[in-house]
């Protein structure tokens, strides 16, 4: 589904229904805005008058006082008023129009490289001029280059503004001034768009200003306001808007949860014999955290409403067995289960694990990936459709058209954050319209802080596996410059000779990255040449699925000692005997990616090591990232840094496209507002349900489809 199409649908859906808040008035309702200008405004995300009002200034200029020329310093933004002493064309390196302006305190040069004959004539000696611009140091004293200016015959009476001047983000085809005029015009009349939707008791306890006041203030801040505060985004008027916007998103998710609960789900209440048998057969005990999460998930399945639970747990915390236990619960109750993984490699691995676990229990496990031949695919589809397959493990190929289940009761999605929004939407829709909607359990290694989860995962439940299996020895991480590659390669070789296995990761294979990254293929060729005694394998995303499988199988069995890989092995791959990983060009990878990659080692009883090789010079951010990786193995800690560096928008971005479109709020800046949002959201839902819909419509538009993800 095209993202833009959805958005337009949203905007168009609004007008008819939205009379009460006027959220539907389109910009064309304003005199002076026709279709052409509307198109230009649309590029700024402005479709309705509400959008226009929430198009807040990116910064402000102080044009409220006139500066004396004699006091100006380079870097000042200033309004000056003076008389033109000279205006002439200078033929230096570049032809320019030079105009000297003086007041009683000093002289300043105005320089323009582009000018018309009219402009030159207008700037006649003896006339008065009011300029606004940034003062620079020039060859012969201070200068203003291409300032905004107005010329007067006589000394002007009132050359300044009463409030700070707003500077907006604009786009080609609409000037700063025009945009400002349209906003001012909208604000000057009745503004149904800005009807107050926060109930008085909420306003009273939060001490937020009323909406209309807040919006007016931000477009026209009084001169005595703290500009620093405004620029920082910490003015109460800004908090008020950000709060309301975040609240609207939160409410839309809570409504989704309520809507989901209107559907029927299979209420599963088996004895649990299969699950218990499986757990008993494992050659380890579940950790307490795993047991707790299995219980939480199963409690969901007993309900008559479709559940949606996110299981978060650091890499290596053992999410797969939790998923398997959950699957067995559903199967014993007579339902089919689908397990979806983001890569073929991981799907294959899960397919193998589930087969090894479930076939001894007399169950049928089917795989469905893109690489299946036509016949195998047909058979897999048939087994799903006639109900003979108990579990189907696959990639998103699982959810293409033509895939039907006989009795799907549970959908498990591994590494949920890796799936695109569209894929997850398609997944949700699988159940919609059917008699029963399957339960859904998603898993991720990217944790989000609790307060953020309460706000932005309000439609789902979250469980944490906050404990690693016992006996895990933390991976020792070393950061080294590329110059040490030969020495490290030697170490890898001797480790392999001692019976250990290693990954050598070359982050690449995308042609566009070729310049910097080392081609895995080339690396493998070199290694094979230099170490004829070692068994070296190669795996990358361009290989056929079956070839990838073969390589992974050989690595798993120990036949391959050193596996040269791209980041295809990033998620999920589980080969406990591998205890050494080298990542080249580590400076180019993000924290969560590095953490995921490193999570491939440290899974067995041996002490593991990870070497992060980097190319100098290192930028500050890259150096910080590598230092964090060296200093901690804790996924929560790493996620915290990741949130801090990349911002929650990017970290959460794949979950909710809506958050990428925030008009006013900034997830990183406004985190202090989170804790109150859940509570006040509850007040609105309970006591002012009529305002909930209006808030959602004001901030998100008519549709909340995106939230189904
Ligand atoms: P992740 O949470 O990263 O998906 P996996 O499910 O791949 O982790 O599990 C990592 C490894 O730990 C696997 O080899 C798995 O068999 C093993 N494992 C899982 N749970 C336990 C446990 N309770 N004790 C020991 N090993 C475990
Ligand atoms: Mg996993």
3-state secondary structure 451-494: HHHHHHCCCCEEEEECCCCCCCCCCEEEEEEHHHHHHHHHHHHH
What are the boundaries of each domain within the chain?
8-60+169-220, 65-160, 476-632
Per-residue pLDDT, 10: 39
- Cβ atoms < 10 Å from Cβ of 263: 16
- This prediction has a pTM of 0.76
Please name which of 596, 445, 577 lies closest in space to residue 507, comparing C-alpha atoms.
596
Q: How confident is the model at residue 601 (pLDDT cuts 50, 70, 90)?
A: very high
Separation of 469 CA from ligand 2 center, angstroms? 14
Give the Å distances, CA to CA, from 381 to 218, 317, 372, 399.
58, 32, 11, 11
Q: Which CATH number fits domain 65-160: 1.20.1430.10, 3.40.50.11890, 2.40.50.140, 3.40.640.10?
A: 2.40.50.140
Predicted local distance difference test score (pLDDT) of residue 641: 85
CA 322 to ligand 1: nearest atom? 6
Task: Give the 3-state secondary structure of residue 248.
Answer: helix
Confidence band of 583 (pLDDT split at 50, 70, 90): very high
From ligand 1's centre to the CA of 459, what distance in Å? 28
Which residue shows structure tokens 């009084």?
222
Q: What is the pLDDT of residue 704?
A: 37
Tokens of residue 546, six digits? 């079956």
Residue nearest to atom 19 of ligand 1 (CA): 318
Give 107 or 668, the one with higher predicted confidence: 107
Classify 510 in phi/psi space as left (phi over 0), alpha (psi -120 to 50) or beta. beta
Tell me the pLDDT of the chain averaged across its residues. 85
pLDDT at 344: 84
Q: Which two tokens stand for residue 232?
A: 């920082």
Residue 661 — pLDDT band, cuts 50, 70, 90? Answer: low
Mean pLDDT of 586-610: 88
- CA-CA distances (angstroms) from residue 404 to 382, 384, 400, 637, 643? 9, 7, 9, 41, 39
Q: Whose CA is nearest to atom 15 of ligand 1?
A: 318
H helix or E strand, kind and range, residue 109: strand 107-112
What mean pLDDT is predicted for residues 404-433?
A: 71
Q: Which one is the CATH code of 476-632: 3.40.50.300, 3.40.640.10, 3.20.20.80, 3.40.50.720? A: 3.40.50.300
pLDDT over 60 at 526, yes or no: yes
- Residues 6 or more apart whose Cβ sits within 8 Å of residue 42: none
Q: Answer whether residue 470 shows pLDDT above 80.
A: yes
Ligand nearest to the CA of 315: 1
Q: Calculate mean pLDDT across residues 309-325.
A: 93
Same fold, 65-160 and 476-632: no
State the number of CA atoms in the 13 A half-sphere of 666 facing the CB.
13
Ligand 1 atom nearest 315 alpha carbon = 3
pLDDT of 373 strictly over 80: yes
HEC per residue, 41-88? HHHCCCCEHHHHHCCCCCEEECCCCECCHHHCCCCCEEEEEEEEEEEE
Residues framing ligand 1 (Cβ under 6 A):
284, 286-287, 290, 313, 315-321, 445, 469, 574, 576, 603
**Least confident among 132-146, 222-236, 261-275, 309-323:** 222-236
Return the pLDDT at 631.
95
CB 323 within 8 A of CB 332: no
As a whole number of angstroms, the distance between CA 613 and CA 478 comes to: 8
Atom of ligand 1 nearest to the CA of 285: 23
Which range, of 343-352, 385-394, 409-418, 496-505, averages the lowest pLDDT?
A: 409-418
Range scoring the smallest mean pLDDT among 56-70, 371-385, 659-673: 659-673
User: Average of pLDDT values for 382-393?
Assistant: 94
Residues above pLDDT 90, as percent of the chain: 50
Distance, CA of 331 to CA of 308 (rounded, Å): 18
Question: Who surrounds ion ligand 2 at CB < 5 A?
Answer: 572
């Amino acid at each position: 589904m095209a993202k833009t199409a959805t958005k337009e649908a949203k905007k168009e859906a609004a007008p008819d229904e939205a009379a009460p808040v006027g959220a539907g008035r389109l910009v064309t309702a304003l005199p002076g805005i026709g279709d052409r200008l509307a198109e230009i405004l649309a590029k700024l995300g402005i479709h309705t008058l509400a959008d226009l009002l929430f198009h807040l200034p990116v910064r402000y200029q102080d044009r409220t006082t006139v500066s004396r020329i004699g006091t100006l310093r380079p870097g000042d933004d200033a309004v000056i008023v003076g008389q033109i002493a000279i205006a002439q064309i200078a033929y230096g390196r570049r032809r320019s129009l030079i105009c000297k302006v003086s007041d009683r305190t000093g002289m300043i040069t105005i320089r323009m490289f582009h000018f018309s004959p009219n402009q030159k004539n207008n700037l006649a000696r003896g006339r008065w001029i009011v300029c606004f611009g940034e003062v620079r140091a020039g060859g012969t004293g201070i200068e203003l280059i291409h300032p905004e200016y107005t010329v007067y015959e006589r000394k002007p009476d009132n050359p300044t503004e009463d409030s700070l001047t707003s500077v907006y983000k604009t786009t080609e085809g609409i000037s700063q001034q025009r945009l400002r005029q349209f906003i001012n015009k909208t604000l000057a009349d009745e503004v149904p768009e800005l009807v107050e939707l926060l109930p008085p008791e909420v306003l009273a306890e939060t001490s937020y200003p009323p909406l209309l006041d807040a919006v007016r203030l931000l477009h026209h801040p009084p001169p005595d306001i703290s500009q620093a505060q405004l620029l920082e985004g910490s003015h109460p008027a800004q908090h008020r808007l950000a709060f309301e916007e975040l609240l609207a998103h939160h409410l839309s998710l809570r409504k989704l949860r309520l809507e989901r609960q209107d559907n029927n789900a299979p209420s599963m209440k088996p004895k649990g014999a299969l699950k218990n048998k499986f757990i008993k057969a494992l050659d380890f005990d579940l950790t307490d955290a795993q047991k707790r999460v299995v219980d939480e998930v199963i409690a969901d399945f007993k309900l008559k409403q479709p559940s949606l639970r996110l299981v978060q747990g650091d890499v290596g915390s053992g999410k797969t067995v939790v998923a398997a236990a959950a699957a067995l619960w559903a199967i014993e109750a007579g339902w089919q289960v689908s397990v979806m993984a983001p890569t073929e490699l991981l799907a294959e691995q899960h397919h193998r694990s589930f087969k090894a676990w479930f076939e001894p229990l007399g169950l049928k496990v089917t795989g469905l990936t893109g690489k299946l031949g036509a016949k195998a695919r047909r058979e897999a589809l048939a087994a799903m459709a006639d109900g003979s397959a108990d579990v189907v493990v696959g990639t998103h190929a699982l959810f293409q058209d033509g895939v039907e289940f006989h009795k799907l009761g549970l959908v498990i999605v591994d590494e949920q954050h890796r799936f695109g929004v569209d894929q997850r939407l398609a997944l949700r829709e699988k159940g919609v319209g059917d008699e029963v909607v399957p339960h859904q359990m998603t898993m991720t290694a990217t944790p989000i802080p609790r307060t953020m989860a309460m706000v932005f995962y309000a439609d789902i439940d979250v469980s944490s596996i906050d404990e690693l299996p016992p006996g895990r020895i933390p991976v020792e991480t070393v950061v080294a410059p590329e110059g040490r590659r030969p020495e490290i390669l030697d170490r890898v070789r001797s480790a392999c000779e001692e019976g250990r296995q290693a990954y050598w990761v070359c982050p690449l294979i995308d042609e566009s990255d070729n310049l910097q990254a080392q081609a895995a293929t080339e690396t493998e060729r070199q290694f094979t040449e230099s170490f004829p005694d070692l068994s070296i394998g190669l795996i990358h995303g361009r290989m056929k699925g079956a070839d990838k499988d073969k390589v992974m199988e050989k690595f798993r069995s120990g036949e391959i000692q050193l596996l040269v890989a791209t980041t295809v092995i990033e998620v999920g791959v589980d080969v406990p005997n591998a205890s050494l990983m080298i990542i080249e060009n580590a400076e180019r990878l993000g924290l969560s990616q590095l953490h995921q990659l490193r999570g491939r080692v440290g899974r067995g009883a041996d002490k593991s090591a990870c070497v992060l090789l980097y190319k100098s010079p290192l930028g500050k951010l890259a150096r910080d990232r590598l230092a964090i990786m060296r200093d901690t193995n804790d996924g929560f800690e790493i996620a915290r840094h990741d949130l801090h560096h990349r911002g929650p928008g990017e970290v959460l971005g794949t979950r909710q496209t809506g958050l990428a479109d925030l008009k006013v709020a900034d997830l990183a800046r406004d985190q202090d507002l989170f804790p109150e949002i859940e509570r006040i959201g509850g007040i609105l839902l309970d006591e002012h349900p009529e305002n909930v819909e209006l808030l959602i419509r004001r901030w998100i538009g008519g549709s909340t489809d995106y939230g189904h993800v």
